[in-house]
Amino acid sequence: MNGLQHKQRRKGMGLMLICLVLIGLGVAVQRDIIVLDRWIPAHYLPWAPLQLEDPPGMVTGWKLSRLNENPAACRAFLEREAPQRVTFLPDRPSNNGCDLINSVRMHSASGVSGEQGVRFNQSFIASCPLAVSWLRFERHGLKSAAQEVMGSEVTQVSHLGSYACRNIYGRENARRSEHATADALDVTGFTLADGRQVRLPRDWTAPEDEDAPGRFLRAVQDAACESFGTVLGPDYNAAHRDHFHLGTRGWRFCR
């Protein structure tokens, strides 16, 4: 065996050794994942699919953000968890930054026995990630905030709409708004099962002066931050004095 052949053989053996090590590590990692899957609840595991019943946690925001990059997984979530709440829409690309891709029309809960959810003053178009975020907010945030502060359930949500092909604040030389791709919903108020109505800006009060409706609205805003990437309310600026802006972009930007 000449020197070149010997060198090539040593190189080949080295590569084989590296491959064996990597395979061993892969088996060990896979074994650890199997153990984790068996002993740790799925909502704590970053690789486990997001479920509607999963309580908010450290990896929830990351799992929600992944749905933006995986339309098939997002659609599968809606088909599995709430097919009666959405109508899937055909993609509508545009050349002006107002694409409607992987979007749905979000409907009120129908009142079917056992179904959880609220009515809307009108249905709205939502990107798939926005629809998922809203459903989780209903289940894990809105419902508990109403019960804990108001002692009643929310039966209807009033909103100003979602999809609008415009820039932020309607400015000519600004970036496109989250509304331009149906990634945000503007909510103005809530109707409770006992008939009471809580509205923005009427019931938004300073923390030191809060009565129950004011505390409820702040609890709603805090809960929304667990399910949406961007949450803007009356304290953010004058443009949001009369509504909550609930959007999917960002990472828990709550003001």
| pLDDT tens figures, 167-185 | 887 777 878 899 999 999 9
What rounded mean pLDDT belongs to the chain?
83
Tell the residue number behind the tokens 């339309």, with chain if given. 71
Tell the residue number behind the tokens 């905030």, with chain if given. 145
The pair phi, psi for residue 221, each rounded to 5°, is -60, -45
Whether residue 50 contacts residue 64, with contact meaning beta carbons closer than 8 Å, is answered with yes
The pair phi, psi for residue 177, each rounded to 5°, is -75, 160
Q: How far apart are CA 134 and CA 228, in angstroms?
A: 8
Radius of gyration, CA atoms only, the chain: 24
Whether residue 231 contacts residue 142, with contact meaning beta carbons closer than 8 Å, is answered with no
Q: Quick one: pLDDT at residue 242?
A: 96
Reported as half-sphere exposure (CB side, CA atoms, 13 A), residue 19 has a value of 6
Q: How far apart are CA 196 and CA 202, in angstroms?
A: 13
Q: Quick one: pLDDT at residue 175?
A: 84
Q: Is the pTM of this model over 0.75?
A: yes
What does the pLDDT average to over 75-86? 95
What does the pLDDT average to over 227-240? 94
Whether residue 88 contacts residue 65, with contact meaning beta carbons closer than 8 Å, is answered with no
Beta bridge partners of 87: 105
Q: Does 19 or 81 have the greater pLDDT score?
A: 81
Q: Does residue 39 sit in helix, strand or coil?
A: helix
**pLDDT exceeds cutoff 70 at 204:** yes
Per-residue pLDDT reduced to its tens digit, 14-25: 444 543 443 444
Beta bridge partners of 253: 230
Lookup: tokens for 179 = 């509304």
Question: Which residues does 240 contact at the CB level (< 8 Å), separation at least 6?
Answer: 232, 233, 234
